[in-house]
Amino acid sequence: MKRITIFDTTLRDGEQAPGASLYPQEKILVARQLERLGVDVIEPGFPISSPGEFAAVQQISRMVQRAEVCGFARAIREDIDSAVRATQDAARRRLHLFISSSQIHLDFQLRKTQREVLQMARDMVAYAKQFVDRIEFSPMDASRTGDEFLCEMVEAVIEEGATIINLPDTVGYSLPAEYGAMFAKVRKLVRGGDKVEYSAHCHNDLGLAVANSLAAIENGATHVEVTVNGVGERTGNCSLEELVMAIATRGDALGIETGIRTEEIYETSRLVSRMMNFPIAFNKPIVGRNAFQHESGIHQDGLLKNRKTYEIMDPAKMGVPRSMIVLGKHSGRHALKHRMSQYGAKLSDAGLDTVYHQFKALADARKHVSDEDLLALVDGVIDGNVSRFALVDLDISKTADSKRVARVAIRDNEADTVTSYSETGDGPVEAVVGAIKQAMPMSITFADLELHSLSSTERANGEAAVTVVCEGETYRGVGIDEDVIEAVAKAFLSACNQAVAAQNAQNGDTKAEKDA
């Protein structure tokens, strides 16, 4: 299996996406996680762009031990000097120089001739070579550069000491066959082209970044430049998680592998999403909310019998904690029964049939069915309550120093009591979660929150999805309400009830084993 080098540019090209800027300390947190993920190269920023950027690149260079650090620079002496200084303490490093090569860029951006640009590329690669052995060179907009000039430029920089040639599809214009052919031509036609490494850098304007990167690999590229969640300018870059899992899933057919620790993918994705305040699309491959969730009854039935019937990857191997079953109007009895078992509810065949028909009618009427709605249906056909705890009342107030105070009343259906709890937090969610935690008989950790509007009107319901961790297991609850804080409270309590039910079932099994 040929090993593909994963070059992560989340902190440089990814951060160039509008609104994605990171503070230096946030960059450092992401860099630490990227090293845990196992990327081979980290491009931590553009040192010349600002003092804060320089400081972040410098600190990351000192911190990172395993991954190679890449200093990014235009083919300008000042840029190179800045990149050299910022990365000088790195255990392993390379410099990445770039200059435009397509005629449209030369005419309207640089306003220089091909001869002038060619000489700049030569001079600056030679200048950088005195500081660093590993020099990566990118002819920007290579995919729209004619073959003759592209080969001439690549040949020139190889003569001056470039060791890695990156052929970027800067504006996401190439088709896979075209992009792959460009690598094949350069490798064949350029003198010394067989003595250097090749890297692919693809943008996703036509949704082809991953496909183009794989085409480059098939034609000799051994480095691929990616970003977490595919973030980047315009529609973004080649997505790290998509490329890595394509290789992991179809590696035998492709004859390639990476060194990425796939179990860190989900946590890395969530961290970058939080730091950049970039939500992840529901249908985003690998890390999107719907990537491993199923509403169709046919699919749910197959999945409950054997996950591989409708999933080509195991989400657990990527650290994805989500339940595969989402209930909606397309769901079947098998999925409904499975969901109820997560709350410890056992329904007779007649009871399941009654709940199933009521659920279908509710799903048609409301489109979105919350856990609270579902449990109310079940409570109507069994004795007692399915869930142990229920939210009776919720009130939020503000203190003089702008803190939030949450007061909740929680019914314990097992003890038949209603108890009030209060907690203070910097925001209403922190306060509410802290108050509800006091009612729980075990330690439960709030792990993740997703908030979404279910409509575009001023009367829109908010949907909250909360993930909690208890005894190493994850549980996910969903709440819907016009008051988004109440939706969060309902979702958190739903997840807590699942954790309590699971622990009770486990304790019951343990007791039965001891009695036996």
Q: Residue 503: pLDDT above 70?
A: yes
pLDDT at 383: 62
List pLDDT tens digits, range 178-235: 999 999 999 999 999 999 999 999 999 999 999 999 999 999 999 999 999 999 999 9
Percent of the chain whose pLDDT exceeds 90 = 69
Q: Residue 509: pLDDT above 60?
A: no
**In whole angstroms, what is the distance from residue 216 CA to residue 198 CA?**
9
Beta-strand ranges (E) seen in 23-62 are: 41-42
- Which amino acid is present at 208? L
**In whole angstroms, what is the distance from residue 24 CA to residue 33 CA?**
15
Per-residue confidence band for 461, with pLDDT thresholds at 50, 70 and 90: confident
For the chain, the structural domain boundaries read 2-276, 297-379, 389-515
Backbone angles phi, psi at 358, to 5 degrees: -65, -40
Q: Just give the CATH number of 389-515.
A: 3.30.160.270
Closest CA to 236 of 199, 264, 272, 262: 272
Per-residue confidence band for 322, with pLDDT thresholds at 50, 70 and 90: low
Q: Residue 512: pLDDT above 50?
A: no
**In whole angstroms, what is the distance from residue 390 CA to residue 213 CA?**
51
DSSP letter at 142? Answer: G
Q: Residue 386: pLDDT above 80?
A: no
Closest CA to 339 of 300, 367, 308, 366: 300
- Which amino acid is present at 383? D
**In whole angstroms, what is the distance from residue 250 CA to residue 253 CA?**
5
**In whole angstroms, what is the distance from residue 82 CA to residue 121 CA?**
18
296: buried, middle or exposed (CB in 10 Å: 19+, 13-18, 0-12)? middle
Q: Residue 332: pLDDT above 80?
A: no
Per-residue confidence band for 384, with pLDDT thresholds at 50, 70 and 90: low
314 against 420, higher pLDDT: 420
- Which amino acid is present at 152? E
The pTM is what? 0.83
Q: Residue 367: pLDDT above 80?
A: no
User: In b/e form, how buried is each residue of 187-214, taking b as 16+ CB within 10 angstroms?
Assistant: beebeebeebbbbbbbbbbeebbbbbbb
pLDDT at 198: 98
Instruction: Measure the N-to-C terminal CA separation of the chain; round to a whole number of Å.
Output: 51
Per-residue confidence band for 372, with pLDDT thresholds at 50, 70 and 90: confident
Residue 184, classed as helix, strand or coil, is helix
Closest CA to 500 of 385, 405, 333, 356: 385
List the single range of 129-143, 357-371, 401-415 with lowest mean pLDDT.
Answer: 357-371
Q: Residue 325: pLDDT above 60?
A: no
pLDDT at 357: 86
List pLDDT tens digits, range 470-490: 998 888 888 989 999 999 999
Backbone angles phi, psi at 269, to 5 degrees: -60, -45
Q: What is the DSSP track for 321-352?
A: ---SB--STT--HHHHHHHHHTTT----HHHH
Average predicted confidence (pLDDT) for the chain: 91
pLDDT at 502: 87
pLDDT at 455: 76
214 against 289, higher pLDDT: 214
Positive/negative CA dihedral, 198, 199, 203, 204? positive
Q: What is the mean pLDDT of residues 404-432?
A: 96
CATH 3.20.20.70 given to domain 2-276:
yes
Per-residue confidence band for 169, with pLDDT thresholds at 50, 70 and 90: very high
**In whole angstroms, what is the distance from residue 184 CA to residue 89 CA?**
36
List the single range of 111-120, 151-160, 199-208, 327-336 with lowest mean pLDDT.
Answer: 327-336
Closest CA to 121 of 146, 101, 102: 101
Q: What is the mean pLDDT of residues 96-116?
A: 97
List pLDDT tens digits, range 429-458: 999 999 999 999 999 999 889 888 877 777
Percent of the chain whose pLDDT exceeds 70 = 94
Q: Residue 257: pLDDT above 60?
A: yes
pLDDT at 110: 94
Neighbours of 147 (CB within 10 A): 12
CB 393 within 8 A of CB 386: no
Q: Residue 334: pLDDT above 90?
A: no
**In whole angstroms, what is the distance from residue 154 CA to residue 186 CA?**
8
